[in-house]
Amino acid sequence: MFHEAPGGSGAWWGWVIGSLVVSAVFLALLQLIPQRFRRYVILAITFLGGLYFALEFFLPTHAMPTPQDPKAEGNFLTPYLVPFGNVATVIGAWTVGVGVLNLCQVHGRRLTRGGSNVIYSFAFFVSMIAMLVFGLLKDVNKTFTDIYDLLFMHGLNTLDATMFSIIAFYIVSAAYRAFRVRSAEATLLLITAVIVMLGQVAVGQMLTSAIPKDSMLAFLRIEGIRNWVLTIINAAATRAIGFGLGIGGLAVALRIWLGLERGSYFE
Amino acid sequence: MEHANLMVQILLPLFSVIIIAAILVARRKNLFIRRIQGLTAIDEAIGRATEMGRPMLCSIGLQGLTVPTLQALAITSYIVRNSARFGTRAIVPVAAPEILPVAQEAVREAYTGEGYPEQYNADDVRFLSGRQFAFAASVSGILVRERVAATFYFGTFFAEALIFAETGNQVGAIQVAGTPSTSQIPFFIAACDYVIIGDEFYAASAYLSREPTLLGSLVGQDIAKGVLIALVVVGAALASLAPVLGQAFVKFFTG
């Protein structure tokens, strides 16, 4: 069912065009389904899709070595895992166009209506067209390559790094508000935070550096206390939260898979 | 590719049966659910935005069509339905393009279900960017320009969580957050007014709607957690007694 054909060959084009035609026919048939039956079609497709992945996970496995992984194991459903996963990737790729279209609609309406924030919509269109043009032409000559690098490496990536670095200052302001002695729990949080922060930096570790590492009192070294807080107490709490999240995720996934989910979107 | 080992083959179907059985029982009985302050605060936040005459922002996270995002969408639907009665505007920024039509449909259905289809504004449910910090910058810009009065962060978040929360704090918004991303919970706790931790995020739809199926699922989750706790205690005891009992017992449970 799943073939590989050399890119650009007749067979390859045949598969691409054939897939597009089959997809278009399938979508047209879906549109013809009466409204009252659409929910059942969605439930059936959801159930069958989830059933495949559940069976693939649970069915007994045997050795199925591959060139990439000689120790791989699987069952009769495993070879279809990647192709079925690729279906989701392809659908996701199509939706990128949906996002761009939505951005153009929203900012286009703002440009035509005018107002105080119209400059941002203008900047959006200029940026998008510039990245599109120089992204497509970047391999034409060195000038276009340099402009593309300027926009992407020195523009977009730099802006990403700037936003990321703002977090450092926001952590300080958030910590200043959060670490107050308002209650017993808040005081405990403050003390623990101070110990962990001091244990992370050389200046803090110098405070207890006089305690020899192999002495009976070595546990009082601040980096040791930090490690104990992070690996024993914090890890236990994080795992407990993880248990709850795992069970909760299982419950929601089960409800969606079996069509038991309720709420305005699911009915 | 991971496949189920013996313990997973036993526990996962067991938990699934427990959850489904609890759902079936819940359809015949009234079940109790304890108060979750963060979820009760949602109505308070909607009321505050209504009184101030300023909009709300509901972020559903950065991921696409995943279980946490669908759960966040269910909570956002509840928020929009409740705010529709008061005419409070809800802005829903989207980071993953594949979730955009889903979010638009959910919000439109929420307004229509409450009898206010004219309140739906397509520009308020919009795609911003798939890049993490471009999305963060866009949301921060919306928070400041629109002078948002209430913000709701439900879904999967990463490093940008603190950028949202601090910006919301700076504009004076009341903030409610809930995420399955354990690494971001501390930042939300430091910066937000109410935070829903751990599986309270997945309990939110049951808590807010009081739908019997969802309440039953919640009870099933609690029973499954009880089974897990019992296994943890048994496992800890067996691991402690391993020198006496031998490693066979421990190996059976660890797979």
Residue B179 in tokens: 């995420």
Q: How far is A220 from chain B (nearest CA, A)?
A: 26
Q: Does residue A181 have a pLDDT over 70?
A: yes
* Residue A167 confidence class, pLDDT cut points 50, 70, 90: very high
Mention every residue, 6+ apart, whose C-beta is less than 8 A from residue B15: A247, A250, B220, B224, B227
- The sign one gets for the Cα dihedral A72, A74, A80, A85 is negative
pLDDT value at A140 more than 60: yes
Structure ipTM: 0.85
d(C-alpha A262, C-alpha B209), whole Å? 9
Q: pLDDT 10s per residue in chain B (255 long)?
A: 678 888 888 999 999 999 999 998 888 887 788 888 888 899 999 999 999 999 999 999 999 888 899 999 999 999 999 999 999 999 999 999 999 999 999 999 999 999 999 999 999 999 999 999 999 999 999 999 999 999 999 999 999 999 999 999 999 999 999 999 999 999 999 999 999 988 889 888 888 888 888 889 999 999 999 999 999 898 888 888 878 776 666 666 665
Q: What is the pLDDT of residue A6?
A: 67
Q: Where are the beta strands (DSSP E) in A25-145?
A: 62-63, 73-74
Write the CB contacts of B215 (distance below 8 Å, at least 6 apart in sequence): B26, B31, B33, B206
Tell me if chain A has a CB within 8 Å of the CB of B218. yes
For residue B163, list chain A residues with Cβ-Cβ distance below 8 A: 163, 166-167, 170
Cβ separation of A163 and B137 shorter than 8 Å?
yes
pLDDT of A1 over the 50 cut:
no
Residues 6+ apart with CB under 8 A from A198: A204, A205, A207, A222, A226
Which residue type occupies B230? A
- Residues of chain B found within 8 Å of residue A103, distances taken between Cβ atoms: 126-128
Q: What is the pLDDT of residue A73?
A: 81
CA distance A20 to B221: 43
- How close B246 comes to chain A (CA, Å)? 26
Go through the domains of chain B in sequence order and give each one's CATH number.
Answer: 6-32+211-254 (no CATH), 37-208 (3.40.50)
CB atoms within 10 A of CB A89: 9
- Using CB atoms, which residue from A100, A260, A262 is nearest to B209? A262
**The pTM of the whole model exceeds 0.90:** no
Whether the CB-CB separation of B77 and A264 falls below 8 Å is answered with yes
